Amino acid sequence: MYMGTKTISIDLEAYERLRQARRRPDESFSQVIKRARWRKASSTAAALLDVLAAAPLPGARELRRLERAQLADAPPEDAWTE
């Protein structure tokens, strides 16, 4: 089975990292990349703040709707049954 290929451009630092990550001289960069373990997106407060900073601000209409909903929100009369 033939695997297609793509040509990519990388800077010298990335090339050097790939080259150094080889286990043996004849290991291909494709093999090095496939062997890599990529970190998942972090779930930190800093990551949340970054997302929120990039989010659009709500308009006046949305703010009024949220304020009305907050004012209408009340705790249940009996916290043990609801």
Who's near 36: CB < 8 A, 6+ residues apart? 21
Domain count, the chain: 1
Reported as a pLDDT band with limits 50, 70 and 90, residue 82 is: low
Domain assignment of residue 15, given as a range: 9-36
Structural domain contains residue 13: yes
Q: Is the pLDDT of residue 77 over 90?
A: no
Cα distance between residue 21 and residue 33, in whole Å: 9
Structure tokens at 22: 């080889």
Structural domain contains residue 66: no
pLDDT of 46-62, one tens digit each?
Answer: 888 998 999 998 999 99
* Cβ-contact 21, 32 below 8 angstroms: yes
Structural domain contains residue 42: no
